């Protein structure tokens, strides 16, 4: 797996997940059922997938993992481990977790719906709605969604991370977040994965709709799709609906800003000399419309399939969105592509999300009808990787291997 374009524990980063179609690395026990015969050109070996989830979960030291894979050949669900470090409550597919940057797909969808309805144009300069944005005359609404505005990322700011460590239950106002983002250096290249873009887009949506973004999500997305277990919390809330999994992280927000912990810290963790910190009840308002969402596996399955199959946009805007992903760095063709608040991982479209304690991945292949959703309640790993992304990568590799 390659490194994301911009990633820190608090960047709610996009995983650059690479799909490999080589043979399956995980082997099944001799007594396990043989892979199902397929007519789709896909593989579906439940025992191999189960072994991959469990072995990687154990390797990562994760308390728990939930993995979901559906293809025309069958449905695979693995519930591995527990909800708390050292606890005994098993994880389950119906538990709530913090979805991080998967939230961005909600915000982007609302903006595209508003464009459909003529309330705005993707070509509009941001300054039309927010005159305070630095260089806003030369930044379009579209560039907020595809991360090409060059606006700095507030979650990359040291001051932001220091406050998160000192006061994890602080209530952040969205205007505070973008003000920090405005002070950050502009991107040197065309692309910069920046949470400032998404928070700014949500503020524009609120301005046009005259209501809070939580209400907009509920009315436009959650209610129509029957996503009854999905929540966009108020900025004052640090709770999760029952049932839920706890989320853990080694180190601090500051120490993980640039990715891996030090070699000495990683060695101490490997030797059992450091325990992870429980971040379950950190207030997620620091990510707001870029990453504060809460959901479950079944609801994310509903969402990522609706996102990619055109259930939330008309034909014109769905086509525009699905054709929008581009390589952030053309010199790295193995990385994920990014478009109008949607990522493309090989044949799958969706997103990934990470914030302290939680990493998740959701993807759907609309051509072969493959869906993959994974969450892990330890994130990031001490070496900086996203564990759910790594597990999803292996599951995707297995599914697309020749049967």
122-154 confidence digits (pLDDT tens): 999 999 999 999 999 999 999 999 999 999 999
Residue 300: half-sphere exposure toward Cβ, Cα within 13 Å = 37
Enumerate domains of the chain plus CATH numbers.
9-102+213-399 (3.40.710.10)
Res. 40 pLDDT band, cuts 50 70 90: confident
pLDDT at 37: 55
C-alpha span between 8 and 287 (Å, rounded) = 13
- What residues are paired with 333 via a beta bridge? none
Of 387, 370, 391, which is closest to residue 50 (Cα–Cα)?
391
Of 384, 340, 339, 376, which is closest to residue 2 (Cα–Cα)?
384
Judged against a pLDDT cut of 90, whether residue 223 lies above it is answered with yes
pLDDT at 5: 27
Judged against a pLDDT cut of 50, whether residue 26 lies above it is answered with no
pLDDT at 1: 27
Res. 402 pLDDT band, cuts 50 70 90: confident
How much is the average pLDDT of 28-47?
63
pLDDT at 403: 74
Judged against a pLDDT cut of 50, whether residue 18 lies above it is answered with no
How much is the average pLDDT of 157-180?
97
How far CA 24 is from CA of 28, 32, 395, in Å, comes to 10, 16, 9
Judged against a pLDDT cut of 70, whether residue 29 lies above it is answered with no
234 and 145 Cβ atoms separated by less than 8 Å: no
pLDDT at 283: 98
Judged against a pLDDT cut of 80, whether residue 35 lies above it is answered with no
Q: How many CB atoms lie within 10 A of CB 262?
A: 11
Q: What is the DSSP letter of 70?
A: E
How much is the average pLDDT of 165-193?
96
Render pLDDT for 94-122 as a digit per residue (tens, 0 to 9).
999 999 999 999 999 999 999 999 999 99
User: Considering all CA atoms of the chain, what is the largest pairwise distance in Å, rounded to the nearest integer?
Assistant: 66
Q: How many CB atoms lie within 10 A of CB 402?
A: 10
C-alpha span between 17 and 334 (Å, rounded) = 8
How much is the average pLDDT of 58-78?
98
Q: Helices 195-209 and 103-116, interaxial angle, to 10°?
A: 40
C-alpha span between 35 and 71 (Å, rounded) = 13
Task: Tell me the pLDDT of the chain averaged across its residues.
Answer: 91
Judged against a pLDDT cut of 60, whether residue 11 lies above it is answered with no
C-alpha span between 66 and 58 (Å, rounded) = 13
C-alpha span between 245 and 214 (Å, rounded) = 22
């Amino acid at each position: 797996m390659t490194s994301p374009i911009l990633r820190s524990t608090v960047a709610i980063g996009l995983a650059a997940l690479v799909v490999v179609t080589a043979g399956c690395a995980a082997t099944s026990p001799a007594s396990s059922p043989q892979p199902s015969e397929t007519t789709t050109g896909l593989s579906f070996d439940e025992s191999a997938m189960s072994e991959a989830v469990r072995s990687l979960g154990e390797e990562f030291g994760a308390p728990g993992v939930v993995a979901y894979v559906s293809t025309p050949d069958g449905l695979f669900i693995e519930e591995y481990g527990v909800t708390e470090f050292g606890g005994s409550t098993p994880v389950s597919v119906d538990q709530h977790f913090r979805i991080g940057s998967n939230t961005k797909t909600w915000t982007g969808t609302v903006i595209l719906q508003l464009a459909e309805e003529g309330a705005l144009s993707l070509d509009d300069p941001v300054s039309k709605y927010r005159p305070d944005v630095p260089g806003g005359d030369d930044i379009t609404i579209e560039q907020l969604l595809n991360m090409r505005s060059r606006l700095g990322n507030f979650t990359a700011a040291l001051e932001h991370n220091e406050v998160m460590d000192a006061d994890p239950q602080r209530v952040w106002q969205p205007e505070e977040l973008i003000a920090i983002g405005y002070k950050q250096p502009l991107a040197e290249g065309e692309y910069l994965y920046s949470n400032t873009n998404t928070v700014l887009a949500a503020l524009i949506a609120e301005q046009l709709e005259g209501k809070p973004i939580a209400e907009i999500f509920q009315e436009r997305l959650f209610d129509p799709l029957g996503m009854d277990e999905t929540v966009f919390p108020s900025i004052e809330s640090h709770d999760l609906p029952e049932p839920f999994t706890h989320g853990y992280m080694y180190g601090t927000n500051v120490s993980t800003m640039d990715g891996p912990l030090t070699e000495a810290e990683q060695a101490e963790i490997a030797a059992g000399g450091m325990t992870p910190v429980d971040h379950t009840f950190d207030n997620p308002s620091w990510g707001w419309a870029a990453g504060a969402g809460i959901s479950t596996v079944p609801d994310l399955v509903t969402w990522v399939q609706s996102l990619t199959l055109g259930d939330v946009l008309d034909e014109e805007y769905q086509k525009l969105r699905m054709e929008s992903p581009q390589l952030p760095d053309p010199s790295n063709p193995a990385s994920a592509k990014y478009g109008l608040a949607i990522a493309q991982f090989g044949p799958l479209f969706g997103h990934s999300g990470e914030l302290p304690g939680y990493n998740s991945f959701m993807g759907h292949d609309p051509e072969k009808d493959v869906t993959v959703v994974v969450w892990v309640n330890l994130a990031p790993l001490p070496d900086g990787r996203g564990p759910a992304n790594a597990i999803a990568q292996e599951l995707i590799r297995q599914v697309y291997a020749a049967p």
